[in-house]
Every structure is written in C-alpha cells, then in structure tokens.
C-alpha cells in the first residue's frame, strides 16, 4: 500500500490513481477536478498530488469535485461569494453533506484559502467572518470541539474562498499541543467564534499511521511570540511542530511533507535549511501568502507517517 501522502511536484495531471491535485499559482479556479489556488509557489514545486494505491472513483456534488478509493475521499470546492461568512457557511455545509453522503463522514484535514484574509478591522476582519461561518456549519452538523479536523487557513490573492479536504470512513484521533491553547478555546479577542480546528489528527490506514499537523505558527498559549522577527518566529514554530509531532506519536524523522506559508516580506530562502535539518525526510513546498493573524510572518504544516 502507498501511504496517504502528498507529493510536491513541478507539475502533474489527473489519472485514475490520483485522489487530489492542487496547483499553487496566481489565480483561483476549479476545473475538471483540479483545484488551482492563488498562492504563488516560491520554489520549483508548484503542484500537490495525492496518489491512491488503487483506482479512484470520481464525482461532483453540491459544487464539490471529489475522488475516493474506499478508504478516503479528497474533495475540492471554491466559492465566489464575496460575503466570506456566507461563503464559509455554505462551503462547510456542502463539505459535510458530501462527505457523509459518499460514506466518508469523518473530516480529517481541511485546507482553507481566503482572499484578503486580514482585511477589515477587529471583528470585521475577513478571517473572523470566515471563522464564524465555519463554526456555524460545523456545530449545526453536530461536531463537538474535539471532533474538529486539523486545518490551515491562509490568505490568497484571487477568488473568494477555496477549500480542499481529506475525509475518511473511520474516525481520526484529535491531538492538541500542550504549549498552545486549543484554538477552539482562544479568548474573545481573537473573534466572536473561535477557530474550529484541531492541532493535529491521526488516522490509521492499513498498517500506516498518518499524522496531519495543522498550520503551526509562533503562537505560545494563545499569544503571538516574536513580533517582527522572522528567524525567532521560525524557531518557535519549529518548537511547536516538534511538540505536536511527538504528541501525535510520531518523530521528527517521520515528517514526510512540510508546507511553508510565508508573508511577502519574510525571507523564504532562510527557512529551508533549518527545516531540513530538523525534518530530514520532509519534502517541502514553499508558498507566499498572508496568515490569519497580521503579526504571524509564517505558518508551517506537516504530515508524518509511521
Ligand atoms: C494559530 O495557531 C495560527 O483557522 O483553520 C493555524 C491553523 C491557524 C488553522 C484555522 C488557523 C487555522 O492560531 C492560525
């Protein structure tokens, strides 16, 4: 069995063993099952490909393009609604409906891309509206805090909302980071509705255990650390990653994929070698994007396998 891991490639195309294919570019679209998100890649890798060990079944329902293989379903959806709260609400309603309808009711991992994620002041920030819409749909679908999927939520420069996700036939195990307040318990200053995600989810497929580590940043407790200092934020983020990897039952050697989101003015080249020395087996995808807090200069997600 191939483990459920993404490959970060220069290019790629769909065939009958591809569960999901995402391109990182300058515009946002969903066409013929291929999602393109407006997050320019800063390296050679521009495509995320999820291969299946067995042929997949492909479909489309409620605006979601998906493929499944008997174990997992990977779906992609975009919304062109400029009301980001409504876009998030409808998108998450559709995700839950399709995941359950196709027989993959457990959301393991969700990637969220929000245009101009930091625009708007205070509670009017687009990210906070996104959080409100997501929260409303997930709680309407009867998900408890400890059932939220792992996630990332970052900015993009075109479109309104683009989301892709991995859902499973059997439940994953949610893992939190003791160095950090659980996002769903963030205090009121971070918005009327807390961000609905787990720090990690661990799933078992055949003999493999896969840990999906959420977008991780320089947050300790609930506070951003090291304002304006990219190097120190990277170091703090690595400490958070090491801890959540350990809490997930994996090791730093078992981290196989890292996606790095960096703000325009952060130095992306300086991140590669510290990351490769801590996570020697990881392949890297580096993209330019905003993060969900103005003061976070970078966010890093990971996938580990055992
Ligand atoms: C943080 O630790 C950084 O809203 O889905 C990371 C991962 C972050 C996911 C989300 C937000 C999300 O709070 C931000």
pLDDT at 2: 62
The residue written with tokens 């090791």 in the block is 251
3-class state of residue 92 by DSSP: helix
Cα of 106 vs centre of ligand 1, distance in Å, is 20
Task: Please give the model's pTM, rounded to 2 decimal places.
Answer: 0.97
pLDDT, one tens digit per residue, over 132-172 is 999 999 999 999 999 999 999 999 999 999 999 999 999 99
Q: How many whole angstroms separate alpha carbon 48 and alpha carbon 24?
A: 8
Q: How many other C-beta atoms can be found within 10 angstroms of the C-beta atom of residue 276?
A: 14
The pair of three-digit structure tokens given for residue 227, joined into one six-digit string: 């304002």
pLDDT, one tens digit per residue, over 208-238 is 999 999 999 999 999 999 999 999 999 999 9
Q: How many other C-beta atoms can be found within 10 angstroms of the C-beta atom of residue 197?
A: 26
Which residue, judged by its Cα, is nearest atom 6 of ligand 1? Answer: 215
When pLDDT is cut at 50, 70 and 90, the band that residue 274 belongs to is very high
pLDDT at 269: 83
Confirm if 84 and 90 have CB atoms less than 8 A apart.
no
Q: Is the CB of 219 under 6 A from ligand 1?
A: yes
Domain range list for the chain: 5-305
Cα of 186 vs centre of ligand 1, distance in Å, is 11
CATH number of 5-305: 3.30.1330.40
Name the phi and psi angles at 303, rounded to 5. Answer: -130, 130
Q: Is the CB of 287 under 6 A from ligand 1?
A: no
Query: Which residue from 297, 6, 292, 15 is spatially nearest to 156, judged by alpha carbons?
Result: 292
Query: Which residue from 287, 236, 273 is spatially nearest to 25, judged by alpha carbons?
Result: 287
Q: Is the CB of 151 under 6 A from ligand 1?
A: yes
Confirm if 209 and 248 have CB atoms less than 8 A apart.
no
Q: Strand pairing of 106-115 and 47-51?
A: unpaired
Average pLDDT over residues 106-113: 98
Name the phi and psi angles at 128, rounded to 5. Answer: -70, -40
Q: How many other C-beta atoms can be found within 10 angstroms of the C-beta atom of residue 269?
A: 10
The pair of three-digit structure tokens given for residue 52, joined into one six-digit string: 């299946």
Contacts of 265 (CB under 8 A, 6+ apart): 297
pLDDT at 267: 80
pLDDT at 230: 94
Q: Is the CB of 153 under 6 A from ligand 1?
A: yes
The pair of three-digit structure tokens given for residue 243, joined into one six-digit string: 């801890």
Percent of the chain with pLDDT over 90: 92
Q: Residue 202: pLDDT above 90? A: yes
């Amino acid at each position: 069995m191939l483990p459920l891991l993404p490959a970060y490639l220069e290019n790629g195309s769909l065939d009958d063993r591809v569960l999901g294919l995402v391109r990182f570019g300058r515009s946002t679209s969903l066409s013929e099952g291929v999602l393109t998100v407006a997050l320019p890649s800063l390296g050679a890798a521009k495509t995320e490909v999820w291969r299946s060990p067995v042929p997949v079944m492909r479909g489309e329902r409620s605006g979601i393009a998906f493929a499944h293989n008997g174990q997992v379903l990977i779906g992609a959806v975009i919304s062109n609604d400029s009301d980001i709260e409504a876009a998030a609400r409808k998108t998450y309603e559709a995700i839950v409906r399709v995941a359950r309808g196709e027989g993959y009711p457990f959301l393991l991992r969700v990637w969220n891309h929000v245009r101009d994620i930091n625009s708007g002041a205070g509670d009017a920030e687009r990210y906070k509206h996104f959080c409100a819409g997501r929260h409303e749909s997930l709680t309407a679908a009867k998900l408890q805090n400890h059932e939220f999927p792992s996630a990332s939520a970052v900015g993009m420069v075109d479109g309104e909302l683009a989301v892709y996700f991995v859902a499973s036939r059997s439940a994953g195990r949610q893992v939190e980071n003791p160095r950090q307040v659980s996002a769903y318990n963030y205090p009121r200053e971070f918005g009327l509705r807390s961000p609905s995600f787990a720090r990690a989810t661990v799933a078992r497929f055949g003999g493999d255990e896969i840990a999906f580590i959420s977008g991780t940043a320089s947050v300790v407790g609930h506070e951003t650390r090291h304002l304006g200092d990219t190097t120190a934020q990277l170091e703090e983020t690595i400490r958070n990653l090491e801890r959540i990897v350990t809490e997930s039952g994996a090791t730093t050697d078992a981290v196989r994929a890292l996606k790095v989101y960096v703000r325009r003015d952060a130095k992306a080249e300086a991140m590669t070698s510290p990351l490769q020395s801590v996570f020697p087996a990881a392949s890297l995808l580096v993209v330019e994007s905003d993060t969900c807090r103005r003061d976070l200069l970078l966010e890093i997600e990971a996938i580990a396998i055992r």
